[in-house]
Amino acid sequence: MRQYHLGILFFVLLIIFSVLFLILGIVEMDMMFVVIAVLSMSAAWLAYKEFNLTICQIRNSK
């Protein structure tokens, strides 16, 4: 069960970082932030697939 909660935490943190870097990339018009955002989004997708997370499981984990 601990690995499951760490998976959700890792997934949420990656989503937050990817959105933050995407906003910074758009506002600052810097391609480096956009590249970091895309890499963070792909890492979040891999974490989503690795830990077999679903939206219902994330909602019910409270």
pLDDT digits (tens, 9 = 90+) for 8-61: 787 788 888 888 888 888 888 888 888 888 888 888 888 777 777 665 656 666
Q: How many CB atoms lie within 10 A of CB 20?
A: 14
Query: Token match 């909602």: residue?
Result: 59
User: Are 14 and 40 within 8 A, CB to CB?
Assistant: yes
Res 57: pLDDT? 57
* pTM value > 0.95: no
